[in-house]
């Protein structure tokens, strides 16, 4: 399973929904969305500041994460940013790969 970080910001309408329904119901809604595409929630936190919530999920693949992101964002109740999370071991594997690259102007 791949890990993803979903960073969300509610619109005014979405914030009114959180006030009405409460945080636990929004977490349950996120869990249901991810389960519907084979994923699961590792952690869910509301936040102060630039972002309204952070959700860390285990997803079967990038397509599943994209499907969930698109459906949630299409609701218009929030904006969502999706970040692929990599383990230290995945970075070790990437660092060991031979990559051919020519920089701009190089």
Using one digit for the tens of pLDDT, what is the confidence trace for 63-94?
Answer: 999 999 999 999 999 999 999 999 999 999 99
Express each pLDDT in 14-39 by its tens digit.
999 999 999 999 999 999 999 999 99
Report the alpha-carbon distance of residue 46 to residue 39 in Å, rounded. Answer: 20
In this predicted model, what pLDDT tens digit does every residue of 45-69 receive, in sequence order?
999 999 999 999 999 999 999 999 9
Quick one: pLDDT at residue 13? 95
Of 64, 56, 54, residue with least CA distance to 85: 56
DSSP string across 21-83: H-HHHHHHHHHHHHHHTT-EEEEEEE-SSS-SEEEEEEES-HHHHHHHHHHHHHTSSEEEEEE
- How high is the pLDDT of residue 104? 95
Instruction: State the pLDDT at residue 78.
Output: 96
Please give the domain boundaries of the chain with CATH numbers for all domains. 2-95 (3.30.70.920)
Confidence check: pLDDT of 42 > 90: yes
């Amino acid at each position: 399973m791949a890990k993803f970080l979903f960073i969300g910001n509610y619109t005014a309408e979405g914030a009114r929904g959180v006030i009405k329904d409460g945080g636990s119901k929004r977490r349950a809604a996120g869990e249901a969305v991810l389960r519907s595409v084979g994923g699961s929630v590792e952690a869910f936190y509301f936040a102060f500041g630039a972002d309204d919530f952070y959700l860390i999920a285990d997803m079967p693949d990038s397509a599943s994460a994209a499907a969930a992101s698109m459906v949630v964002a299409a609701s218009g109740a929030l904006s969502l940013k999706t970040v692929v999370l990599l383990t230290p071991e995945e970075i070790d594997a990437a660092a060991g790969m031979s990559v051919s690259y020519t920089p701009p102007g190089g």
